[in-house]
């Protein structure tokens, strides 16, 4: 038998995700066939909690079939119409447990409503909907259907993001006094890209919801700031900017923010910041310490306590990881984890919640931290407030939402 | 339709592994139930080429069953005896296509022989066997059975390791003039760990094959040096050392090496180098440039061309990745990949080869680079030569092998 | 004789500062005796262009004498009154050529006027004066006296800051589209420090000029942004904040900016950002590339050209340093330079200008880039505009100045 | 008056070197006029303990005069013959206190003897002499003359090297178990450089002492290993290699070492390791922790205690710097120090010792750590042992020396 000590040494190493076991893998249906649907599918597989069991990948039969083959789906689980998928799957004994929505922003609401109404749980790409109004309607729909909805803020699934959150909650940096968060990319530079289909709908106000960069990546930064600091953003002043090739909507946004307790902060995002790929970073400063994290090196969290040498807190063995963080770890300290692990963590937490609802959980539930439908509504409010503030010349604008 | 340009922009982003498609996922049986079997299983799932379909996880029925449940296996695919698994699975229509061997070193040979003899393909933990003699017998057995054997040198599956290899082959650093490789860990420090079961068999000459650190991690460094430089190690001088708590076998090894063309190099490995988790790193210097890589930040490859600013070559978009590297990529540049992706790449390449043998490949085959049974024999020769040299006071000793 | 090639290889290495030679070292008098006066003195010595020849280090005779001994000054060059020093030194044949002013902000103006009026050249700590009005009067005084005034923006003396400036001027990143600059410190955290003398005058509006953090370090960030980007800041919106222990003036400032050509940017500075020592950093994004620099690792400049691997541009040999940068280099590439070299560079450039005015230059003059009296006035305007904007609730405020 | 607390906060910041004050600056004569003489001169100036007062820069009158002008020397202090300089300066009231020898290796011994015999203190470039025999004769000469000799191991003057040494002495990593040190450069790549004068004498066995890379940079690594670990190297096995363009002597050396207490280690040096400028690095592993340092980022020392997050120990404020380290600091934490500070520290320590000998010290002496004539002899022994071992096919060879 393993001693306590031996267990603790073993726990330095890899383990299956230490969330409660389920009696079976859950079955996911996919709506949409873009690249993000592939990424999500890999996250699901890695989570070992989900199988891709059905999909409406495209309204074009051949394209949908081709994508379905990638997941080895039988013909009768490949659809061209999400409504049909909802109806057929609802009638199957081995039908899907949940659906993931990976289509353009303006369609999220209708699809989510359709599946929620039939009792399917929903995983939804961000931004959840394109208006505060629809997001609140979706909150109501989800609540009334009694289903779970998870918004795809995958970055919050990184173990070291969880570690930062836990450290702040336990007082490692004292009272939070400033929140800096940024998300810098470069991919919208270049003239030719402006005409590509996945750029075009993002630049179409009707489909994207009135902002491009703000909705697309600003919402990630907004969610991460609150998730880690433990403080919701309450008001903001925003500038929506075009800093790259001429276009209809913003490719850059600067936000001056106040968080709960009147804590100030800065948030900026840009898709034309040359040299940046996925430059999502936070720096949170408290009375007695600070924390920094960069998504591109996700295993490393930099912690400074005033008057002491800075520490490099790492996933896994090495001191300091909280239990709820070790639970989300698959590789030993020193063997890198990455973005797909973050996705897998979010899918695993979502699975644990869905499994509990369906009576498939084999162990007692644990606290879960995925982004909920309410978080999705907070993101919609953030986007709306940014637009409002920008139109008012950068006036302070409320961005908090009541449920 | 997507233009060529649009495709190239899209190719910046994530894609399913771009190896030839298969008509179905392959079925893997697992022998052994330690942590590495879990890691491998996650790698298989992430590869989307394999399912865990059967397992002899332990000779203890309850332990084997418990582990089987983690992979949602039905009772009749969970075994306590690998021979029985081989026999039963060979008789099933939906039987396994291959087996992975994750047991202690001294058992690899017998298990591999058993499955090879029945025509199963074999995935084998390193070191492949504990002697040159048995490794050569396994080479013969594999060849005569006409099956594929892959040795678990997962680090060679990292995209940036492939990139380094490709750059060297294409002349980016000129003629290779020095090869430095090291693998530093710290986990064997601490008195209590010496009595743990997974340490004990590694320190038992009969089970490990006469060396501990050299066989366990030295073989990874040995394989990586040749894989990246394109040059096999030909002779060596070695010191086997105990630099941590007293123990029977080496926890540290220093190797002076010569590679093909009489290129000199240094290889060292230690499991008691405080502050190191998985410090596998190479630095290869040529006439006109150099390349450096650190496994703990696997997405970054440092390339210096004499007289020019150093470059940070990154997986994915950003210039310079070769096709055979992009083929092994799942996340866009900037979204981190890690160790499980490296495992998944090796499993995917092994799958492509197995699928071709079985007529399940849907597209033409591509070049594959996983470690073969011959590479496994080279590793055994390296270990044997290191022991021989150490016993002879560090004499130069041949470590090349003829097949 | 050295060949051209040999010379170029040699030039990889250290050399005395390659600015025009002078027939003698210049003589500097110091007003003020705080730590920055010591730092400046080391910078002067390292420049090999200056000797500390006199000083009014304190109004207390003993303290002034003690500090004078550190520079091995004879008794008759140690003063307790800067006016007396000005008068006496003006009458000596071997009198000082210039004076450096290292006293609290509110005294700069009077001291500079006094020495300028007597024809001494002036080196002045930042902020140059505490109001736009006095700064413009000082511009007029300096012009009318025909002397040189250098403001102590030492960070602009770092070789890699010059390199960034040169690269932007030569088009390496295309048209500048965003300017991000920040200066984060932590030293104002801690309750006890609030009562220290060097903090107290900074927090006294009458002595500091109405802002603390903004004047103290915000002006450095403001100068650096314009110096590197080549674009002056034209208007701003500012928030002056207290994010650390309660105090009278700002310890943090957030600035939304526009630069010439309506280029947007963000500038923030904080003296209570835990974990930061001297976190002065810029990131400048253009149409085709970006540049990043961190003062704490000053020898490394990160350059990204869209579609190519990022480059680490280094001081000295290795490609890419422009002539005007190599001119400011003392150590070979790989041997670190630091803050005192930056000071030495500024003092050396100031010396070259003073020597030319005095007919002491032995070679033709070269372009010089130190911060002038006009730059000092720009800094005063920046501070004033930040206060004005903050009081107006963050309204856009002009911060450009006409001369 | 400053409170204790205020003093401690102030001590975070820059200060003049906190070694004992001297009643005057010491006067240095220079023999040799290459680049290293300039570097040394800058180190002297920065130390504020020395003035360059005389020099025999070249046997060519014009060249010597030109170099003398760079230090503003009067004509009568510029020599073309070091013997003449020794004689004349010995007769001057304001004559030099010490001499620094920056000529090719084979001349060090004669020059040092000449000046020692006249009672001048000596600062000597490494390697001190080209044989063990002459180095021991120099030890005897220095002892008999009662003068001080300092060998130019400037890297040991870096504050963080001192910090590492202090941490090891105070038990921060437990008992030292492995010592890894390396010094990688690239400048000897390239065909043309082989014909340059400063390369030619290094490649001439008669002038360099039988090795090139080993004597030139191997001795730095050898000194640093012992200095930091506190353990002298006792025996070694060495390979002298040519890994770059064909040449007469080694451009690369690999050393397997034993240190006092039979502690194993590896030392390697190469001047043809593409991508390396001044890659002098150590990694020292103990029972309970490890320390890493890279000369190219000298302000950062990485400290790992087993089972705790790694720490970034920095010069200056931030916790953990010992008194003897803070004494060598000029810039506040966060403002970078570099190579010239290391030189200045060595010159300052040498000055303190010389000043004490000459009765010029104004305060009680403190412990000093510069490399002595005995350290120089240890370096000569190391080089000789490496050659002996290499010729004997890498046999274990004693490298300890008795005095």
Q: Which residues of D touch C297 (CB under 8 A)?
A: 297, 336
> Mapping DSSP to helix (H, G, I), strand (E, B) and coil, where does residue B263 land?
strand
**Residues A130, A142: Cα–Cα separation, whole Å:** 17
Q: Output b/e per residue, B122-155; b: 16+ Cβ within 10 A.
A: bbbbbbbbbbbebbbbbbebbeebebbbbbbbbb
Torsion angle in degrees (nearest 10) through CA of A294, A297, A299, A303: -40
CB D236 within 8 A of CB D382: yes
For chain B positions 143-202, those within 8 Å of chain A (CB to CB) are 185, 187, 190, 192-193, 196-197
Residues of A in contact with C241 (CB under 8 A): 264
CB contact under 8 Å between B318 and C311, yes or no, is: no
Q: What whole-number distance in Å separates Cα of residue B245 and Cα of residue C298?
A: 42
Question: Which residues are CB-neighbours of D290 under 8 A, at least 6 positions away?
Answer: B186, B273, B274, B275, B276, D173, D283, D284, D303, D304
Say which of C25, C46, C193 has its CB closest to residue D340.
C46
Partners of A294 in beta bridges? A281
Where do runs of H (alpha helix) occur along B209-294?
213, 219-229
Chain A positions touching D163 (Cβ under 8 A) are: none
D380 within 8 A of D132, measured Cβ to Cβ: yes
Q: What is the pLDDT of residues D309-338, one digit of tens each?
A: 999 999 876 666 777 788 888 988 899 999
Q: Dig out the tokens for C170 from the structure.
A: 């030569």
Distance from CA of C262 to the nearest CA of D (A): 33
Whether D90 contacts chain A with CB within 8 A: no
Contact between B302 and D275 (Cβ < 8 Å): yes
**Min distance A163 CA to chain D CA atoms (Å):** 13
Distance from CA of B140 to the nearest CA of A (A): 34
Range 295-334 of B in CB contact (< 8 A) with D: 302-306, 310
pLDDT digits (tens), chain C, 403 positions: 334 444 443 444 445 577 899 999 999 999 999 889 999 999 999 999 999 999 999 999 999 999 999 899 999 999 999 999 999 999 999 999 999 999 999 999 999 999 999 999 999 999 999 999 999 999 999 999 999 999 999 999 999 999 999 999 999 999 999 999 999 999 999 877 877 877 888 888 888 888 999 999 999 999 999 999 999 999 999 999 999 998 899 999 999 999 999 999 999 999 999 999 999 999 999 999 999 999 999 999 999 999 889 999 998 766 667 777 888 889 888 999 999 999 999 999 999 999 999 999 999 999 999 999 999 999 999 999 999 999 999 999 999 999 9
**Which C residues, 326 through 385, put their C-beta within 8 Å of a C-beta on chain D?**
330-341
Task: Give the integer Cα–Cα distance in Å for B44 and B51.
Answer: 7
D314: Cβ contacts below 8 Å, ≥ 6 apart: A309, A310, C277, D160, D299, D300, D301, D333, D334
Q: What is the pLDDT along chain A (403 residues), one digit of tens a residue?
A: 334 444 443 444 445 567 899 999 999 999 999 989 999 999 999 999 999 999 999 999 999 999 999 899 999 999 999 999 999 999 999 999 999 999 999 999 999 999 999 999 999 999 999 999 999 999 999 999 999 999 999 999 999 999 999 999 999 999 999 999 999 999 999 877 877 877 888 888 888 888 999 999 999 999 999 999 999 999 999 999 999 998 899 999 999 999 999 999 999 999 999 999 999 999 999 999 999 999 999 999 999 999 889 999 998 766 667 777 888 889 888 999 999 999 999 999 999 999 999 999 999 999 999 999 999 999 999 999 999 999 999 999 999 999 8
CB-based contact C318 B312, cutoff 8 Å: no
Hey, are the CB atoms on B285 and D264 less than 8 Å from each other? no
Q: How close C243 comes to chain A (CA, Å)?
A: 6
| pTM of the model as a whole | 0.96
Q: Do B320 and C309 touch (CB under 8 A)?
A: yes
How many C-D residue pairs are in contact by the CB < 8 A criterion?
A: 156
Rg of the Cα atoms in chain C = 21
CA dist B339 → A15, A319, B343 (Å): 14, 21, 6
- C336, D69: Cβ pair inside 8 Å? no
DSSP B67: H
B99 C-beta neighbours (distance < 10 Å), count: 28
Residues near C102 by Cβ (< 8 Å), separated by ≥ 6? C30, C31, C32, C33, C34, C36, C37, C40, C125
How many whole angstroms separate alpha carbon C297 and alpha carbon D338?
A: 10
Buried b (16+ CB within 10 A) or exposed e, A374-395: bbbbbbbbbbbbbbebbeeebe
For residue range D92-140, list pLDDT tens digits in order.
Answer: 999 999 999 999 999 999 999 999 999 999 999 999 999 999 999 999 9
Rounded Cα gap, residues A222 and A218, in angstroms: 6
* C173 within 8 A of C288, measured Cβ to Cβ: yes
Name every residue whose Cβ is closer than 8 Å to that of residue A168 and which is 6 or more positions away in sequence.
A176, A228, A229, A230, A284, A286, A291
Residue A372 DSSP label = E
């Amino acid at each position: 038998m393993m001693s306590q000590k031996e267990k603790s040494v073993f726990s330095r190493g890899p383990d299956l995700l230490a969330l409660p076991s389920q009696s079976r893998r859950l079955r996911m249906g996919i709506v949409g066939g873009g690249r993000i649907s592939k990424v999500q599918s890999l996250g699901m597989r890695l989570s070992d909690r989900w199988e891709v069991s059905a999909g409406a990948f495209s309204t074009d039969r051949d394209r949908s079939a081709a994508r379905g083959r990638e997941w080895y789906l039988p013909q009768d689980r490949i659809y061209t119409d999400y409504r049909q998928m909802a109806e057929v799957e609802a009638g199957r004994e081995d039908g899907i447990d949940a659906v993931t929505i990976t289509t353009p922003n303006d369609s999220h609401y209708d699809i989510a409503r359709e599946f929620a109404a039939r009792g399917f749980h929903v995983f939804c790409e961000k931004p959840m909907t394109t208006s505060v109004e629809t997001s609140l309607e979706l909150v109501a729909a989800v609540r009334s259907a009694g289903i779970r909805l998870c918004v795809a803020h995958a970055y919050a699934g990184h173990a070291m993001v969880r570690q930062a959150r836990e450290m702040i909650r336990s007082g490692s940096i004292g009272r939070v006094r400033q929140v800096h968060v940024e998300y810098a990319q470069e991919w919208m530079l270049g003239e030719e890209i402006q005409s590509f289909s996945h750029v075009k709908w993002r630049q179409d106000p009707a489909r994207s919801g009135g902002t491009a960069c703000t909705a697309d990546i600003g919402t990630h930064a907004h969610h991460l700031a609150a998730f880690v600091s433990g403080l919701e953003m309450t008001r903001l002043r925003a500038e929506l900017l075009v800093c790259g090739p001429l276009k209809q909507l913003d490719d850059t946004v600067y936000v001056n923010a106040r968080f709960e307790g009147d804590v100030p902060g800065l948030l900026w995002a840009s898709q034309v910041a040359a040299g940046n790929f996925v430059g999502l970073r936070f720096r949170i400063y408290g009375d007695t310490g600070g924390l920094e994290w960069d998504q591109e090196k996700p295993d490393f969290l930099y912690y400074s306590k005033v008057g002491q040498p800075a520490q490099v807190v790492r996933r896994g063995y090495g001191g300091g990881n909280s239990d709820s963080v070790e639970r989300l770890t698959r590789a030993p300290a020193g063997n890198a984890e990455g973005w797909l692990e973050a996705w897998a963590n979010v899918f695993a937490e979502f699975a644990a919640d869905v499994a509990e609802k369906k009576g498939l959980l084999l162990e007692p539930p644990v606290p879960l931290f995925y982004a909920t439908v309410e978080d999705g509504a907070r993101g919609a409010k953030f986007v709306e407030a940014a637009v409002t503030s920008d139109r008012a010349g950068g006036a302070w604008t409320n961005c908090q939402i009541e449920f």
